[in-house]
Amino acid sequence: MDPLAPAPRDRGGPGGPLLIACDLKKHFPVRSSGGKSVQAVDGISFSVREGETLGIVGESGCGKSTLARLLLHLIVPDAGELVFDGTTVRDDITVGALRRQVQIVFQDSYSSLNPRMPIRDTVAFGPFVQGKPKGEARRIARDTLARVGLDPDLFGPRYPHELSGGQKQRVNIARALATGPRMVILDEPVSALDKSIEAQVLNLLRALKRQLNLTYVFISHDLNVVRYLSDRVLVMYLGRVVELGRVEAIYTRPAHPYTRALLASQPSMNPVRRIEEPPITGDPPNPIAPPAGCRFHTRCPFAEPVCMTVDPPLPPWLGPQSHIAACHLSDRLPRRISHE
Amino acid sequence: MNRGAALAEVRDLRVRFVGREETIHAVNGVSFAVPSGKVLCILGESGSGKSVTLRALMRLLPPRSSRIEGSIRIGGEDVLAMPLRALRDLRGGLVAMVFQEPMTALDPVYTIGRQIIETVRKHTGCDRHSARARALELLELVRIPSAAQRLEAYPHELSGGLRQRAMIAMALSCRPRLLLADEPTTALDATVQVQILILLRNLQRELGMGMIFVTHDLGVAAESADTVAVMYAGRIVESGPVERVMRAPAHPYTAGLLASTVHGQPRDRDINAIPGSPPDLRRLMPGCSFAPRCSRRQPSCTTNLPEPRFPKPGHMAACFAVPSAPVV
């Protein structure tokens, strides 16, 4: 397919963002805390261009999985707007119509498959409920299984418990692709896999993106994997975006102190050059009561008085070469020593 | 005790799990030695037998379904022949373990302080007051801030990193000479993981303990090991000094694992993944277990078990494709 020709389903116009998330918010009330809530996603805005891979990184509890579910309306946001391909979700298109075009692959490959259904039925289920006749849905399932590297005659009749972790994750990818989506949200798709299997699945994801002109949102806590796969990277901390930029900019010139700490905390893979001092101390704070001001100030080695009181805004995204960070000090931080 | 002997010495360890319908051959002839003051990292993927090996060292495997053969000597004592009473003194005394999941390894209904005090009193027989002083000292040793307050905390009141520190404190309470760590940082976030790795490394050095560290993460091994033993399908396929194994891996499996781990590969090319998946441990094939996935397979690989070869002194690889250094 000619990558420059507009996709037949492209309504937002070529070059327009495929997905725009605008000020998404989701707070989960905590019953025993007297009206407090976990601020899982607290005002997140970004856009995903057609054909790119947007990586989302952050530690556990930063809200990255909640964000993944918000993008599909698997969790309904408290506030904010989702615009898919120029149409506002729920105003202009239904959630069902959104899910025809956006699919998700979860981390736990076993619990996201129906244990009582052979995998060919699991994969055929999506196209079937979307109105394809049974025979057609089965044919799609066979093709999709073959595409993800599973022989449909050999694996089609099997149940999830008869498959290895890597094979189950291939089924999940097939299930997501069977409805012919344009965008796939990958929520830690390789985190539960062994390294030798992880590499196979990453190669598969790359090949599928090329063959099917897909757009990926790739969520992971593994910075190395995100660097390998993403075009742009979004860094989250306690429900907020702290930095967003092109992958090489983020990894070679990180602007936010948290991104720097995250990169410097990566084991070196070099036994001769070990990390001698932890880049930052302590654990991420409780998202029920995030710190006032900048949420990172309690662990930030550069924090100044202003950081404790004023919440630094994320500057607007100005175009493909933009690199933005929500930090009061980002333009006067000491020059970074390369971590490589 | 023989002073020249290694702190821990394992010879031809075999572990089977026997069930009504099938037998799983989890560990199939593992030998290694750990001297005092050194760190051995056992590196392997899930199902390689690394955690089973570690648990066998303290005889923590279910006695009814597991069959352990071979020899395990720690501090000169034969662990497999030990009566239960002596075993109780060994566990937590001479040898202590740090587990992967502090939330399940700590007792949720007792405070951190009470759990440490109980351990100290059981092993040393000292009074409550001095046991409490020791507990406080331990929490300070593992750098838990406001330690006195944390003694009264329940596990659920602590963050993941602090819980793991508390578990390390408990493991160190009776001054073990050998510390076993089973993926102690896997459940932690990146910025916390590095703190715990550095803490363990410093404590091990300061206290002069031997340490066996089980991990699936090459980066973690590079950060903490003196020597590395790579396990596949219940056997050690390669071992040697960490710099040597990570920089010049001799066994095709180790080389494949390094190549398939994403760390700064060019973005426009596929990763060199190892094809296939690990073998079924219920039906162990003759020959090298890695042969079906190996790019350097020879006809003999599927019939004979490759004996250890030594490309450099101290560097072992069990593979027919590896040339042995000439014996001097």
Share above pLDDT 90 across residues of chain B, in percent, rounded to a whole number? 82
Number of A–B residue contacts, CB under 8 Å: 128
Binning pLDDT at 50, 70 and 90, where does residue B71 land? Answer: very high
The pLDDT, as a whole number, for residue A12 is: 57
- Shortest distance, CA B160 to any CA of chain A (angstroms): 8
Q: How many residues does chain A have?
A: 340
Q: Which of B197, B225, B257 faces A195 most closely, judged by CB atoms?
A: B257
What lies within 8 Å, CB to CB, of B63 at 6+ separation is none
**Residue A51: inside a domain:** no
Residue B203 and residue B172 in contact, taking contact as beta carbons nearer than 8 Å: yes
CA torsion, ordered A269, A270, A274, A280, to nearest 10 deg: -30
Q: Does A196 touch chain B (CB under 8 A)?
A: yes
Provide the pLDDT confidence category of residue B326 given band limits of 50, 70 and 90. Answer: low
pLDDT in tens, A109-133: 889 999 999 999 999 999 999 999 9
Whether A266 and B261 lie within 8 Å, measured CB to CB: no
Measured distance CA(B308)–CA(B324) in Å, rounded: 9
- Tokens at A68, concatenated: 């993944």
For residue B13, pLDDT beyond 90 = yes
- In the predicted model, what is the mean pLDDT of chain B? 92
**Closest of A258, A188, A257, A192 to residue A226, by C-alpha:** A188
A48 inside domain: no
Mind telling me how many Å the CA of B25 is from chain A's nearest CA?
A: 18
Summarize the confidence of residues A163-168 as an average pLDDT.
92
Examine the pLDDT at B327 and tell me if it is beyond 70: no
Q: Do A59 and B162 touch (CB under 8 A)?
A: no
Q: Do B45 and A276 lie within an 8 Å CB cutoff?
A: no
B205-230 pLDDT, tens digit per residue, is 999 999 999 999 999 999 999 999 99
Q: What is the DSSP string of B107-123?
A: -TTS-HHHHHHHHHHHH
Q: Is A329 within a domain?
A: yes
Is the pLDDT at A26 greater than 70? The verdict is yes
Q: What is the pLDDT of residue A121?
A: 96
Query: Considering only A10-24, A270-284, B7-21, B31-45, which range has the smallest mean pLDDT?
Result: A10-24
Q: Can you give the pLDDT at residue B5? A: 66
Q: What angle do CA B213, B217, B218 make, to 5 degrees?
A: 95
pLDDT of B1 over the 50 cut: no
Distance CA A261, CA B190 (A): 9
pLDDT computed for residue A30 by the predictor: 87
Residue A265: inside a domain, yes or no? Answer: yes
- Which of 24-63 (B) contact A at CB < 8 A? 45-46
To probe the interface with A, which of B45, B227, B262, B293 has the most A CB atoms within 10 Å? B262
pLDDT at site B187: 83
d(CA A334, CA A136): 60
Q: Which two tokens stand for residue A242?
A: 């702290």
The C-alpha angle B256, B193, A284, rounded to 5 degrees, equals 135
Q: What is the Cα–Cα distance from A122 to B11, expressed in whole angstroms?
A: 48
Taking an 8 Å cut-off on Cβ atoms, the answer to whether B263 and A224 are in contact is yes
Which of chain A's residues have a Cβ under 8 Å away from the Cβ of B45? Answer: 194-196
Q: Which residue of B has its CA nearest to A286?
A: B159
For residue B87, give the nearest of B120, B51, B50, B57 by alpha carbon.
B57
The confidence band for B186, taking pLDDT boundaries of 50, 70 and 90, is: confident
pLDDT at A33: 72
Three-state DSSP state, B10: strand
Whether B192 contacts chain A with CB within 8 A: yes
- Geometric angle at alpha carbon B196, from B191 and B199, rounded to 5°: 130
Q: Is the dihedral of CA A144, A146, A149, A150 positive or negative?
A: positive
Q: Quote the pLDDT of residue A2.
A: 42
The answer to whether the CB atoms of B191 and A262 lie below 8 A apart is: yes
Average pLDDT over residues A234-263: 95
Amino acid residing at B101: E
A6 — pLDDT class (breaks 50, 70, 90): very low
Phi, psi of A74 (to 5 degrees): -70, -25
Residue A140 lies in a domain: no
Asked if residue A328 belongs to a domain, the reply is yes
Whole-number pLDDT of residue B120: 92
* Position A282 confidence tier, pLDDT thresholds 50, 70, 90: confident
DSSP annotation of B225 reads -
Cross-strand partners of B98? B181
Range of the domain at A264: 257-340
Give the CA radius of gyration of chain A: 21
Instruction: Answer whether A274 sits within 8 Å of B274, measured CB to CB.
Output: no
Q: B12-28 b/e with 16+ CB inside 10 Å = b?
A: ebbbbbeeeeeebbbbb
Model confidence band, residue A288 (pLDDT cutoffs 50, 70, 90):
confident
pLDDT band at residue A233 under the 50/70/90 scheme: very high
Q: Is the ipTM of this complex over 0.90?
A: no
pLDDT at A43 over 70: yes
Q: Tell whether A19 is covered by a domain.
A: no
Structure tokens given for A73: 């309306």
pLDDT digits (tens, 9 = 90+) for B158-178: 988 999 999 999 999 999 999
Nearest CA in chain A to B266: A228
Is residue A290 in a domain?
A: yes
C-alpha–C-alpha distance, residues B245 and B261, integer Å: 15
- The tally of domains found in chain A comes to 1
Percent of chain A at pLDDT > 90 equals 76
What part of A 205-234 touches B (C-beta under 8 Å)?
A: 206, 221-225, 227-229
pLDDT by residue (tens digit) across A59-101?
888 999 999 999 999 999 999 999 999 999 988 889 999 999 9
- Cα-Cα-Cα-Cα dihedral sign, residues B295, B313, B287, B40: negative
Identify which has the larger pLDDT, B231 or A192: B231
Question: At residue B101, does pLDDT exceed 70?
Answer: yes
